[in-house]
Structure 1
């Protein structure tokens, strides 16, 4: 089945509006023969002549008159669709979605976002705080452009974004706070505040989970508040402790041999975003 292209309809309308094949060719930056060939092909498909040529002027036939209104509407709708598609593409690229694990240093995160926002004020940033496997799920699903977590899915190039030290922390009035040497056996006897994996498909346990009594929360902020409220002790990132003032009730537990845990947080970016200047700039700032 033969089909008529939009370009043929555009040529048909141009001949009507310009009054002739040569004039239409000038308006469309085409030769007169190209315009004539397009109209002949259109007429062949339709099986009816569209123009009568009188001197150098092309005059619509009665059949051509019946098609003109529909042709204009078709081309107008096509132009509107093209404009809408281009606008939506621009809007899509005017937004960056980011998933960041709750352990990532907040001061560095928002410093990077502040610098980025100043350089790209037209870009909207959508930020999600994640825990453990949830960031990987969002990257896998294509729900976010950039992810920072302890594990990045296969197929993504991962770079180290931060090394986070975790230290055992308790309220200053906690029984363990007054001890000069705390062993893991002593930790096991106390309630531990742990952060729940936010993953929806494959939840994983991570970190030290030696205590049989646990209080589970959703993020680092909640864990910190729980420790301050004397719910239990927790392994908290050192950047949380660094920003505490002297009045803070949080104290580091004096573990035997001074054990700490170190978590490597990796940054992954969707392949189709790698060459985008705004994405590249944000990645650079986050990796500093």
Structure 2
């Protein structure tokens, strides 16, 4: 029985298909299937029923899965303890971050971190919230930075800071010239540019508008905040942009205004699985993030 075989079994049970499990584990599907078959031969029992559109745990598989998960957790805990036994802070920190956070937050944080801990290599994984959660559960990353709402009882969620979502307007727009406070009601007839489905910021913006009984008209969906801000500048629509991503000095920058009654914001949180507490490196990284947010 090999560790990678246990990881493959857990991945198939979680995803429901051999193909998705192979993608998640970054191996060829025939290799993954062969290793699970080899494990089943060793155990003398089938763990999965191979169905036309997926795979389903057998009764033996249902009994085996919790043990496989516990073994993987124990091995990871042992690795964690071995790493922490070394008094010197060195090694690798694998960090998952949302694309709407990474380009704007990490530069200054990583400069400070590298200056204090030059022997720690930081590996950044930029992806959506759903992908980061999968990577946490498969032990591919040590820590994730994401945005609420987050609902997973197996995770420890530590709020780091909150930031305003700024209203981004085309230069010359009527609201950009307005001196009175801007409210959600003022956006009823406007077209919005938001992140595409799968990116939590897009859902946060739409949810904020819907809470104010404003049914937004979506003009465009994008995958990059820089693209969205360029489209706002071009007059295609309005958007809500995290304060950390605002670029007022850029030649193609929108005009940024604050919304009142209510003022939208998002909360940035650190996540890790409850069975894998943060390493010293991860703890020091979070300390620098929180110190920087308090300074700002």
If the TM-score is normalised by the length of the shorter chain, which range does it land in? 0.5 to 0.7
State the alpha-carbon separation in 1 of the partners of residues 245 and 146 from structure 2: 18
TM-score when scaled to structure 2? 0.55
Q: 1:218 to 1:269 in 2, by over 3 A?
A: same
Question: Where in structure 2 are the equivalents of 1:42-81 lying within 5 Å?
Answer: none
Q: 1:158 to 1:239 in 2, by over 3 A?
A: same
Structure 2 counterpart of 1:232, from 228, 234, 237: 237
Q: What is the aligned partner in structure 2 of residue 170 from structure 1?
A: 169
Q: What is the aligned partner in structure 1 of residue 124 from structure 2?
A: 127
- Structure 2 stretches lacking a partner, 5+ long: 1-78, 84-89, 210-214, 292-296
Shift of 1:194: 0.6
State the alpha-carbon separation in 2 of the partners of residues 251 and 213 from structure 1: 19
3-state SS, counterpart of residue 159 of structure 1: strand
Which digits, 9 at most, give the CA deviation of each residue in 1:209-258, with x for residues without a partner? 532233111132332222223221110122333x5228564223475x46
State the alpha-carbon separation in 1 of the partners of residues 204 and 258 from structure 2: 22
Shift of 1:114: 1.4
User: Does 1:222 find its partner at 2:232?
Assistant: no
Q: 1:225 to 1:204 in 2, by over 3 A?
A: closer
User: Does 1:117 find its partner at 2:114?
Assistant: yes
Contact kept in structure 1, 2:164 and 2:264, CA below 8 Å: yes
State the alpha-carbon separation in 2 of the partners of residues 157 and 221 from structure 1: 31
Q: 1:283 to 1:273 in 2, by over 3 A?
A: farther
Once structures 1 and 2 are overlaid, which stretch shifts more, 231-240 or 137-146?
Answer: 137-146
Shift of 1:147: 0.6
Q: What is the aligned partner in structure 1 of residue 72 from structure 2?
A: none
Question: Where in structure 2 are the equivalents of 1:1-288 lying within 5 Å?
Answer: 94-104=91-101, 106=103, 108-151=105-148, 152=150, 153-181=152-180, 182-198=182-198, 205-207=203-205, 208-209=208-209, 210-241=215-246, 243-245=247-249, 249-253=253-257, 255=259, 257=260, 259-271=262-274, 274=277, 276-288=279-291
Q: 1:219 to 1:143 in 2, by over 3 A?
A: farther
State the alpha-carbon separation in 1 of the partners of residues 191 and 166 from structure 2: 16
State the alpha-carbon separation in 2 of the partners of residues 222 and 150 from structure 1: 21
RMSD, aligned α-carbons: 3.4
State the alpha-carbon separation in 2 of the partners of residues 213 and 278 from structure 1: 42
State the alpha-carbon separation in 1 of the partners of residues 138 and 195 from structure 2: 23
Which digits, 9 at most, give the CA deviation of each residue in 1:137-189, with x for residues without a partner? 33233332111112443222221122011021111123432344545344132
Q: 1:270 to 1:218 in 2, by over 3 A?
A: same
Which has the higher Rg, Structure 1 or Structure 2? 1
Q: What is the aligned partner in structure 2 of residue 24 from structure 1?
A: none
3-state SS, counterpart of residue 144 of structure 2: strand
